[in-house]
Structure 1
Amino acid sequence: MLSPPLEIISGALRFHPHLLCCILLRRLSSSSTSSKPKWNSNNNLVVTHPILSLMESCDSMLHLKQIQARLTTAGLMSHRFPASRVLAFCALSDPGDMAHAVLVFRQIPHPNPYIWNTIIRGYNRANLPTSAISCFRRMVCSHVEMDGRTFVFVLKSFEQLRDSKAGEGIHCMVFKAGFSSHLLVGNSLVQFYARHGDPTSARKVFDLMCERDVVSWTTMINGYSDREMPNEALRLFYQMLRTDTQPNDVTLITVISAISQLGVIQLGRLIHNYIKQSGIKASNNLLNALVDMYGKCGSVAHAKEVFDSMLVRDVFSWTSMMNAYAKCGNLDLARQSFDNMPQKNEVTWSSMIAAYSQSNRPQEAIQLFQEMIAADVKPINATLVSVLSACALLGSLDLGRWIYNHYIDGKIIKLRMNLANAFIDMYAKSGDIIAAAKLFNQMPERDVVSWNIMILAYAMHGYSKEALSLFEHMKWICLMPDDVTFVGVLSACCHGGLVAEGRRHFEHMKSIFGIEPKGVHYACLIDLLGKFGLLNEAHELVRNMPMEPDSAAWGALLNACRMQGNLELGKYAGDMLFDLEPGDSGIYVLMANMYATRREWDDVKKVRKLMKERGVKKTTGHSSIELHERFHYFCCADVSHFQSEEIYTMLENIYMQLNIEGYVPLS
């Protein structure tokens, strides 16, 4: 059976690059582009009246009002056609004025469907969908005969409002009015459902359409791609190739986006080869999409090839190339690309900050964020999410609090769900569980990620009762937990010593919720059993795992053996760990500590000797502290800090005072 990404190339294709290119070349002769609609885009309209002809060169509201005055003086504004021309300019042109358009509209006697459509479209253009819908309702109440474009524009209004139920009502009106087979209306319905995250309904409308054009296919493909359903998007694209419909630039960008989600470089190369061989003049947007796709597929060389071939590079071109370097782990080249950019926008800054944060380089992420603020670039939601992740890694609570006070309390950025989740995670990992719980309880809407973060936060801080209570509340509101939820639940059981409850939740994962336990869940349960002396049961669980036990499982068992003093089983677990990760210094330290607990000093020496022979060095421990918005880092026996002399003097004084008080360190 073909793997899902290759299902689009069924039967005779069998993922053959040349064959797919032949189909592409045969079906696609050129990439058609459509100019942006203008207020006077009717090319068939010939205006001969001397006053009305002045509208063709009108470029400001001042000029428009002068023309309107002449039309009024000549008695022409009482006629629908001249009035509709004035209305169209006010409502649809760049220098237009919607308030003046409403005044003109109210003076038009018996407006026809075109005039009603113009005012509805104008409201949409001015981001006033509620006014557009109110106008549509007046049109219905006035029994004005609507045309297909009326439904197109009112669907745009509901699309802006994100009101899916009302949009479904318009769909019923479309059906009753006999516009079901109208191409423009069908396209608008497909787009409406796709934009509202309902690709199933969009596909039903698409399949029932008597006629389809490139917009129909592209809208449906884009609907699948936006919902992260790349296989369906590419299957539909393959069906499109079997018709006489010619894909355009937007279609190819949408297809490339779907391929980016799959990460299948071969499919990306097919589309790229088609673009080159068919002679299509690729737009900058299409080339940017190719650079982005190659980066997400892990091919920096191909991304660079497209980037270097571009005659004009905009900020998105540079950002895509920078992301390609970051995706492949080359942050130095990514930063070099960032520094060389002739222009940067908030997305560029956010992408570089995210790259540092996701690559476990939080210091650089925070430093770049500070440079972004200094450059007077306003951060966006995604910027703060990445910076808060860096704060969580560093335990930088002061910066996290400042971000909340400045951007959220200051009403600069709206606290959306993903950003609230990032704040809760930052508070919890930085030690302020009270602030994390307070923000969680204040959230008007929560997703499963919100609940997971809070459950894990409680578990991490040892509040097992609160974590499990939250889990029960989550089930009570019928929110389905996922595998991450159970990591938090089992961790809470482990911290609270709740063996029976831990077993029960582990069993319920599959029996009640249908979630197959992963290695991390087994490791949590092994840790729980081992800590409370149930070594045989823990060992049995490791042996009966449905997957090959990983280092987390054997590590949990080894730690349990160290705590319980079981040298025999501990040695066995240690040997398994040595085979899995021979370069991990933590294993050697754990083994040595286990032998030292039982005073087996010869075995301690053997472990240290083995560590030396294999060239394994213990990872140097380090700590950090934030003081006056500056981070200070310390390693074992570190003297690099500029205040080392004062620090060690203070430590010696502390040790002296401890000795005077009779303190004896544990051996």
Structure 2
Amino acid sequence: MLQPLTPPPLLFPLLRQLQRTQITFQCLRSFSSASAQKPKWNINSNLMITNPVLLTMESCNSMSELKQIQAHMTRTGLIMHLFPVSRVLSFCALSDFGDINYAKIIFSQIAEPNTYIWNTMIRGYCKAKLPKLGLPLFRQMVQEQVEMDNRTFVFALKACEQSPGAVEGEQLHCLINKLGFDTNLLVQNGLIHLYVRYGFLSSARLLFDTSFVRDVVSWTTMIDGFAQKNLPNEALNLFYAMLSSGITPNEVTMITVLSACSQMGDIGLGKIVHEYIEKNRVNCNLNLLNALADMYVKCGCLNTAREIFEKMEVRDAFSWTIMINGYAKQGDLNFARKLFDEMPERNVVSWNAMIAGYSQNNQPNEALELFHEMKELGVVPIESTLVCVLSACAQSECLDLGRWIHQHYVGQKRIQPSVILTNAIIDMYAKCGDIDAAAKLFNEMQDKDLVTWNSMIAGYAAHGYADQALGLFEQMRNLELVPDDITFVGVLSACSHGGLVTQGKKYFEDMRVEYGIEPKAEHYACMIDLLGRVGLVEEAKELLKRMPMEPDEAAWGALLNACKMHGNVELGKLAADKLLDLDPKDSGIYALLANLYASRRRWDDVRMVRSMMRDRGVKKTPGCSSIKIDGQSYEFLVADKSHTRSEEIYETLDVMLLWLKMEGYVPNTSQLMGLHEVNDAFLNT
């Protein structure tokens, strides 16, 4: 039986105009028939609705239709009853076609809303992501001593999850305990989910362990919490305990378990989980199939992931993106791009995957081209997009675009800068040559992580500012920030560029003694470079011999460069031979060796190097420089005359050389000794 409402002093004043609307029941039926094939909103399987007007509302899919139905309900008096008005309120608050502000107006006109209506409004504010309005409404319920049920607290907890701080959630937990709802399973699950969302896993686990009753939601929420915090072992141990307890996992549980397997990179375990899904006939919806494909991609089984992808009857943007990620990380960018181009519909994550693939595989120009295409199509980038694009800018030294991204997205507050994004901007500025902009941004940062310090130390080191780099490192120490192996690469590189042998040796020793970091190949390469630059070539050779790992190209390259600088031909030939064993097609090694021979006027050996290149089919990579004017890049090769204004360019260079000579410039002929002979030897190679 419909319960009549107590009319307020001004009953729905905003609807009086709607009362004048001449709406017939035939119109309502037309809404129903037109919307019959469209998705329904907020249907409760236990809710039996027989009134034809309310049945019509269940098929409503726009606010204009809803208002016409509401006008009819007002004219006929149906709106005066509590259940019908609650359905109008539910549509406005919960439907994808609703309007939460209109719901607020309706709610304010209900003299004595029941618990369901209060709950609907709080839930509606959660759906609209307006916790600042949902929580005060809950407090009003408490103050007015409105009867609350378990769903009241579930929706209030959801509002707390959307709030930035944890205070409201902890206060609500106290109230739940006080009112005796702490034993309700629905509320318990809401509390566990709240603490997981806050990142308070110990509090969530305590609640979970002390619960008398747990269902699949309880277990899944807790497993997901561990997986989200990159604690896969804990997540999987809990999953095993779940199986032992007799609780049957659902598809959501298996998605969280597959996420843990992906983090561990354990393909054997992943296959066992896959077999469990098939054996127990877990509902393999699209999300679970995507999780399976993603697990195989992250565990390095791209072929199996491809099989799952090919068998999918339905695919979404994430299905395609998972495969694009997989092929991009494998280095097969051509096939990744083929998949990207074949996608029926792309989202920003898809664009990110392809841009990241190019950027991470040292193809920055392709990454930047794709970013420009993305912008032209009106796809709005997110933070991860910009991080990948800034990395590409750093690789290609595209300072103009990097600066524009900083000013347009961060400076104009289109994207709130996180530590990760700010680090990417600092790294871009440092690698593109604007170390002052990098330093300014670094000094303005309130929250810095280890990556921030590492980026700035490496930036100063690369620009030859050894004192500034080492000064930052000492600041880190004073702040008791623990450096990692990347930090010491920057520190040792700074010592190398500054010729600071004593300090370099001390830092190299501190790595192992003070911080327990075993030097890696790149640290040894930095030390060999440092010793070689100051002329301690033999000491550099001895350090290379003592390396606990096989010397790589960087170590032998540093030694060869030192030999070239200081004319150590025999040791240089040894280093060159080792390098050529590692990469016989690198023309730069041959050039260094030839220059070393030329510095000692050993022309027969220079020609021998040329002969080696010819026999091995190695072509000398011509010297190349570039300049950017008004955003346009221009590249020039050695003796290049292809530019339309090459005559003017060479005339300008001649004028510059003349001015240099007039100012007293004398070239260092020791470095140019035999230049013509070396050029003759390589000209036709």
Same fold (TM over 0.5): yes
Write the letter of the residue equivalent to 1:220. Answer: M
TM-aligned CA distance change 1:504 to 1:410, over 3 Å? same
Asked if the contact 1:55/1:67 (under 8 Å) is kept, the reply is: no
Q: Which residue of 2 aligns with 1:25?
A: none
Of residues 522, 525, 528, the one that matches 2:524 is 522
Mapping of 1:114-513 within 5 angstroms? 114-144=116-146, 146-513=148-515
TM-aligned CA distance change 1:286 to 1:625, over 3 Å? farther
Q: Alpha-carbon deviation of 1:257? A: 2.5
Mapping of 1:500-649 within 5 angstroms? 500-535=502-537, 537-566=539-568, 570=572, 573-574=575-576, 577=579, 580-581=582-583, 584-599=586-601, 617-638=619-640
Of residues 64, 67, 71, the one that matches 1:66 is 71
Quick one: distance in 2 between partners of 1:147 and 1:511? Answer: 61
TM-aligned CA distance change 1:561 to 1:347, over 3 Å? same
Asked if the contact 1:483/1:517 (under 8 Å) is kept, the reply is: yes
Q: Alpha-carbon deviation of 1:151? A: 3.0
TM-aligned CA distance change 1:130 to 1:583, over 3 Å? same
Q: Which residue of 1 aligns with 2:25?
A: none
In terms of mean alpha carbon deviation, does 260-269 or 107-116 score higher? 107-116
Q: Alpha-carbon deviation of 1:603? A: 5.5
TM-score by length of 2: 0.81
In terms of mean alpha carbon deviation, does 142-151 or 497-506 score higher? 142-151
Q: Secondary structure at the match of 1:159?
A: helix
Quick one: distance in 2 between partners of 1:530 and 1:291? Answer: 50
Write the letter of the residue equivalent to 1:310. Answer: M
Quick one: distance in 1 between partners of 2:226 and 2:642? Answer: 55
Q: Alpha-carbon deviation of 1:457? A: 0.9
Q: Alpha-carbon deviation of 1:485? A: 1.8
Quick one: distance in 1 between partners of 2:263 and 2:639? Answer: 48
TM-aligned CA distance change 1:384 to 1:53, over 3 Å? closer
Quick one: distance in 2 between partners of 1:304 and 1:321? Answer: 7
Q: Which residue of 2 aligns with 1:24?
A: none
Q: Secondary structure at the match of 1:631?
A: strand
1:150-205: per-residue Cα shift (whole Å, max 9, x none)?
A: 33222222211232344334334444444443322222232222223333433333
Q: Alpha-carbon deviation of 1:360? A: 0.9
Write the letter of the residue equivalent to 2:503. Answer: E
Write the letter of the residue equivalent to 2:403. Answer: R
TM-aligned CA distance change 1:198 to 1:561, over 3 Å? farther
Quick one: distance in 2 between partners of 1:132 and 1:402? Answer: 39
Quick one: distance in 2 between partners of 1:63 and 1:83? Answer: 14
Quick one: distance in 2 between partners of 1:384 and 1:189? Answer: 36
Quick one: distance in 1 between partners of 2:93 and 2:305? Answer: 43
Q: Alpha-carbon deviation of 1:291? A: 3.0
Q: Secondary structure at the match of 1:334?
A: helix
TM-aligned CA distance change 1:658 to 1:446, over 3 Å? closer
Q: Alpha-carbon deviation of 1:302? A: 2.2
Quick one: distance in 1 between partners of 2:41 and 2:274? Answer: 36
Q: Secondary structure at the match of 2:304?
A: helix
Quick one: distance in 1 between partners of 2:146 and 2:260? Answer: 43
Asked if the contact 1:38/1:92 (under 8 Å) is kept, the reply is: no
Asked if the contact 2:454/2:486 (under 8 Å) is kept, the reply is: yes
Asked if the contact 2:251/2:283 (under 8 Å) is kept, the reply is: no
Asked if the contact 1:159/1:192 (under 8 Å) is kept, the reply is: yes
Asked if the contact 1:531/1:563 (under 8 Å) is kept, the reply is: yes
Q: Alpha-carbon deviation of 1:251? A: 2.0
Asked if the contact 1:396/1:430 (under 8 Å) is kept, the reply is: yes
1:626-660: per-residue Cα shift (whole Å, max 9, x none)?
A: 33433333444556656667656765776688789
Asked which structure has the greater CA Rg, the reply is 2
Quick one: distance in 2 between partners of 1:90 and 1:631? Answer: 55
TM-aligned CA distance change 1:393 to 1:529, over 3 Å? same
Q: Secondary structure at the match of 2:414?
A: coil
1:73-110: per-residue Cα shift (whole Å, max 9, x none)?
A: 57945x6x666555444333334333343344445556
Q: Secondary structure at the match of 1:624?
A: strand
In terms of mean alpha carbon deviation, does 475-484 or 267-276 score higher? 267-276
Quick one: distance in 2 between partners of 1:348 and 1:564? Answer: 52
Q: Secondary structure at the match of 2:256?
A: helix
TM-aligned CA distance change 1:48 to 1:583, over 3 Å? closer
TM-aligned CA distance change 1:645 to 1:210, over 3 Å? farther
Asked if the contact 1:392/1:430 (under 8 Å) is kept, the reply is: yes
Quick one: distance in 2 between partners of 1:589 and 1:198? Answer: 59
Q: Alpha-carbon deviation of 1:502? A: 2.5
In terms of mean alpha carbon deviation, does 288-297 or 645-654 score higher? 645-654
Write the letter of the residue equivalent to 2:74. Answer: A
Asked if the contact 1:54/1:67 (under 8 Å) is kept, the reply is: no
TM-aligned CA distance change 1:583 to 1:232, over 3 Å? farther
Quick one: distance in 1 between partners of 2:404 and 2:518? Answer: 41
Write the letter of the residue equivalent to 1:409. Answer: G
1:516-571: per-residue Cα shift (whole Å, max 9, x none)?
A: 33222232233223333445554454444444443433433443344344556555
Asked if the contact 2:78/2:84 (under 8 Å) is kept, the reply is: no
Asked if the contact 2:427/2:459 (under 8 Å) is kept, the reply is: yes
Quick one: distance in 1 between partners of 2:214 and 2:574? Answer: 67
Q: Alpha-carbon deviation of 1:129? A: 0.8
Quick one: distance in 2 between partners of 1:244 and 1:106? Answer: 48
In terms of mean alpha carbon deviation, does 618-627 or 307-316 score higher? 618-627
Quick one: distance in 1 between partners of 2:257 and 2:294? Answer: 13
Asked if the contact 1:456/1:489 (under 8 Å) is kept, the reply is: yes
Write the letter of the residue equivalent to 2:473. Answer: F
1:368-399: per-residue Cα shift (whole Å, max 9, x none)?
A: 22222222222222222222211111111122
Quick one: distance in 2 between partners of 1:360 and 1:619? Answer: 18
Q: Alpha-carbon deviation of 1:460? A: 1.0
Quick one: distance in 1 between partners of 2:339 and 2:42? Answer: 43
Write the letter of the residue equivalent to 1:93. Answer: S
Quick one: distance in 1 between partners of 2:58 and 2:380? Answer: 40
Quick one: distance in 1 between partners of 2:567 and 2:488? Answer: 29
Quick one: distance in 1 between partners of 2:537 and 2:656? Answer: 42
TM-aligned CA distance change 1:139 to 1:656, over 3 Å? same
Q: Secondary structure at the match of 2:515?
A: coil
1:562-594: per-residue Cα shift (whole Å, max 9, x none)?
A: 434455655555555555555554444444444
Q: Which has the higher contact order (CA 8 A, sep 6+)?
A: 1
Write the letter of the residue equivalent to 1:454. Answer: M
TM-aligned CA distance change 1:161 to 1:556, over 3 Å? same
Gap regions ≥5 residues in structure 1? 1-36
Asked if the contact 1:298/1:327 (under 8 Å) is kept, the reply is: no
Q: Secondary structure at the match of 2:433?
A: coil
Write the letter of the residue equivalent to 1:263. Answer: G
Quick one: distance in 1 between partners of 2:452 and 2:580? Answer: 38
TM-score by length of 1: 0.83
Write the letter of the residue equivalent to 1:553. Answer: A
Asked if the contact 1:64/1:86 (under 8 Å) is kept, the reply is: no
Q: Which residue of 1 aligns with 2:98?
A: 96
Q: Secondary structure at the match of 2:635?
A: strand
Q: Alpha-carbon deviation of 1:319? A: 2.3
Q: Secondary structure at the match of 1:312?
A: coil
In terms of mean alpha carbon deviation, does 163-172 or 442-451 score higher? 163-172
TM-aligned CA distance change 1:207 to 1:654, over 3 Å? same
